[in-house]
Amino acid sequence: MSENCGNFTLEAAQAYLAREPDMTVDQISDRLFTVSDGQCRTIFVAADESVIAFDTFGTPGRARAYGRAIAETLPGKAINTVIYSHDHLDHAGFAADLAPGAEIIADEMCAKVIKCRGAEGQSVPTRVLRGERNELTIDGVELVLLNPGPTHGSGNMAAYFADEKVLFSSDTVLANAKYGFMPDYHFANFVKFMRGFLELDWERFVPGRYELTDRAGFERGCDFIEAVQETCQQAFANFVPIWMYEPMKGFVGGQLGERFGDLDGFDGHIGQMSIRIVHHYLMGGWGLEDTPEPAVLLEDQVSL
Ligand SMILES: [Zn+2]
């Protein structure tokens, strides 16, 4: 294949990998910008002499479009640093196409998964962070990177900008219901760690998809996920056939429609969400990643 192909093996994927969508950039402060391809979203920061880009978007074409959007916004500044919010290819898969020579910063767990995965185009992190809170200064920009524990994917890292009163946390709480949760959400810990971010002083939340929200929207997003978790448990008590899509959609959607039916995407996604979450209770999660210390999973097996 001519494009870096991530995990794809079919030549037919080329068209998907190469497409370069329009990007929309919005300025949050003097130094901080958010950018979206209409679905995924991330942030980048103007440093003194360079640009710090969070994530890469999910194909080589999208990474190039992201790079172009940055160059148009901050002409003359190279992307010298890329920070991965988590390991997933649809957000952090194509640094090789965005900024081949950049320093790549990631959480240790994220770095280990990426090393083992070996996906084409997903650059291996060159600087690995450990622990819940890391404060770094990169080219004049002070960064606070937070990993309170497993929320989504492997080695999830949020960014807190105290001066801007902004929190960025990719693929976590959305301002809508437009995500059919996959096994990569860690429901044993998710809401607890996300609510923990409310202890910080911020007013705007930048999610990894769709539109920005405020503290009230963020709290409602947590309430929604918690309500789906509770209703999925009630499905057992009501002997709903939990492995079937339509009965689960009907039960959970019916229970929560009055309270959360106004969330964009509710009708189209509540069934998928329910199927995913109900199996957390049936099966106990997806292994060690659904415990508070997922790093033990790769502790002795993978060295960086
Ligand atoms: Zn993800």
Closest CA to 276 of 238, 237, 249: 249
Which pLDDT score is estimated for 291?
72
Q: Are 127 and 108 in contact (CB under 8 A)?
A: no
Closest CA to 57 of 114, 26, 19, 27: 19
Element (H, E) at 215: helix 215-237
Ligand 1: distance of its center to the CA of 110 in Å?
11
Ligand 1: distance of its center to the CA of 33 in Å?
21
Ligand 1: distance of its center to the CA of 32 in Å?
22
Which pLDDT score is estimated for 287?
64
**Cβ-based neighbour number of residue 49 at 10 Å:** 11
Closest CA to 87 of 208, 175, 236, 244: 208
Averaged pLDDT, 254-258: 98
Helices and strands (H and E) in the chain: how many: 9, 13
Express each pLDDT in 217-249 by its tens digit: 999 999 999 999 999 999 999 999 999 999 999
Ligand 1: distance of its center to the CA of 91 in Å?
7
Averaged pLDDT, 185-197: 93
Q: Are 276 and 181 in contact (CB under 8 A)?
A: yes
Ligand 1: distance of its center to the CA of 169 in Å?
10
The Cα–Cα gap between 147 and 263 comes to 28
Q: With 90 as the cut, is the pLDDT of residue 51 above it?
A: yes
The average confidence (pLDDT) of the chain is 95
Which pLDDT score is estimated for 301?
77
Express each pLDDT in 134-186 by its tens digit: 999 999 999 999 999 999 999 999 999 999 999 999 999 998 999 888 878 89
Listing DSSP states for 59-107 in one string gives SHHHHHHHHHHHHHHSTT-EEEEEE-SSS-HHHHS-HHHH-TTSEEEEE
Cα Rg of the chain (Å, integer): 19
Ligand 1: distance of its center to the CA of 238 in Å?
32
pLDDT band at 112 (very low <50, low <70, confident <90, very high): very high
Averaged pLDDT, 32-44: 97
Identify the sign of the CA torsion 109, 110, 115, 118.
Answer: positive
Q: With 80 as the cut, is the pLDDT of residue 111 above it?
A: yes
The Cα–Cα gap between 192 and 95 comes to 31
Which pLDDT score is estimated for 86?
96
Which pLDDT score is estimated for 288?
61
Ligand 1: distance of its center to the CA of 170 in Å?
7
Q: Which residues surround ligand 1, an ion (CB under 5 A)?
A: 88, 153, 171
Which pLDDT score is estimated for 296?
74
**Cβ-based neighbour number of residue 21 at 10 Å:** 16
Express each pLDDT in 72-103 by its tens digit: 999 999 999 999 999 999 999 999 999 999 99
The Cα–Cα gap between 13 and 3 comes to 9
Ligand 1: distance of its center to the CA of 203 in Å?
23
Ligand 1: distance of its center to the CA of 100 in Å?
22
Q: What's the helix, strand, coil split of the chain in %, to 5?
A: 40, 20, 40
Secondary structure class of 37 (helix, strand, coil): coil
Ligand 1: distance of its center to the CA of 76 in Å?
31
Ligand 1: distance of its center to the CA of 182 in Å?
9
Ligand 1: distance of its center to the CA of 97 in Å?
19
Ligand 1: distance of its center to the CA of 174 in Å?
13
Q: With 70 as the cut, is the pLDDT of residue 289 above it?
A: no
The angle formed by the CA atoms of residues 84, 121 and 118, to the nearest 5 degrees, is 85
Ligand 1: distance of its center to the CA of 171 in Å?
5
**Angle at which helices 245-260 and 215-237 pack, to 10 degrees?**
140
Ligand 1: distance of its center to the CA of 158 in Å?
13
